[in-house]
Amino acid sequence: MLNSKIILALETSCDETAVAILRGRNGHSGSQLLASEVASQIAEHEKFGGVVPEVASRNHLVHAPRLLERVTREAKIGISQIDAFAATSGPGLASSLMIGASIAKGLAIGFGKPYLAINHLEGHLLSPFFGETEIKPNVSLVVSGGHTMSIFVRGVGEYEVIGRTVDDAAGEAFDKIAKLLGLGYPGGPEIERCAAKGDSKRFDLPRSMPESENFSFSGLKTAVRYLLPTLGGDFLADVCASVQQAIVDVLVRKTIAAAKKFDVDLVTVSGGVSCNRELRKQLSKACKGQRVEFKTAEAWLCTDNAAMIAFAAMLKLENGASSNVTEEIDPNLALAV
């Protein structure tokens, strides 16, 4: 383990404060997670039915120093032993990104170590390979609260966006529809839980833009809004199952179409919505039908965390890359090609 580097990464792009420490690859063995902590702010934002940027930013300031202390203790690493500091630099909420990036830059300058600015989407899309040494070409579906994107991944840093949402992200659709149904936040897990007992064929909900490589979910939300006042009796489980199936159908169909178009042997899925068991099951089955390998990460790596940011940073550091500390955060940061 003598030559492997150690990275500390912060993720504060939205409402989760996360810090992780990762030891880089040693010979043929992949990187090893030494500590990863996430402080969720769900309780603070739940009463508003969504994330309030000002509240998120203030909470990052409270949680980050506490988590930094905890991960170094867990990893049994002194902060001076860290070889590089990384943070998510976008996309996300400006006031949230600023906190993690400022801390990582401050530590990098203070300890005279490299700083790495990491794209949040790159963190997600590399997460199915977490800890591995090789990133195989794949069609990657990134589905979260803020993003729905299919990407052709040639390797680290070589990305071609195939399709993206033209309105709501898949997770945003889950969250907004859950709110219409009076369910809690975040809505995805709530809808999945209710859908388990429901009939997904009871309501015929729209599958928008079937011929496009892009995605659209706002029509689904509107359809549910108009459907609800017409319903009586017991409908919640059936609406949830029908909504979930409408979203899963579109994601599976477009991902398989992209895999065929780009002639890949591998499909990956990441981001918070990829925790959804129906999505995993149906995408995995569809991939099997096409003789394409399917890969995803464990659920804890799919929702926002700093381990995926540390992993992306480690792959870059091992390729000799680092960022300038003058590099600004960018709330609209595009995926580099």
Which residues contact Zn ion by CB under 5 A? 144, 304
Question: Which of 175/238 has CB closer to ligand KG4?
Answer: 175
Question: Which of 144/268 has CB closer to Zn ion?
Answer: 144
Question: Which of 41/72 has CB closer to ligand KG4?
Answer: 41
The token pair that represents 194 in the structure block: 């209710």
CB of 272 to Zn ion, least distance (A): 6
Instruction: List, as one string, the DSSP characters of 181-196.
Output: TT--SSHHHHHHHHHT
Q: Which does 188 bind (CB under 5 to 8 A by kind): ligand KG4, Zn ion, none?
A: ligand KG4
Q: Could you give the C-alpha distances from 249 to 118, 159, 207, in angstroms and in order?
A: 31, 25, 8
> What is the DSSP secondary structure assignment for residue 39, as one 8-state letter?
E
The token pair that represents 116 in the structure block: 């790495």
Q: What is the CA radius of gyration of the chain?
A: 20
**Closest by CA position to 151, among listed 167, 140, 164:** 140
CB of 57 to ligand KG4, least distance (A): 16
Question: What is the contact surface with ligand KG4 in residues (CB under 6 A)?
Answer: 14, 144-146, 171, 174-175, 186-189, 192, 271-273, 275-276, 303-304
Cα separation, 13 vs 37, whole angstroms = 15
Taking the CA atoms of residue 236, residue 239, residue 242 and residue 244 in that order, the dihedral angle to the nearest 10 degrees is: -70
Question: Which of 163/171 has CB closer to ligand KG4?
Answer: 171
CB of 97 to ligand KG4, least distance (A): 12
Neighbours of 334 (CB within 10 A): 12
CB of 246 to ligand KG4, least distance (A): 13
CB of 261 to ligand KG4, least distance (A): 26
Question: Which of 82/130 has CB closer to ligand KG4?
Answer: 130
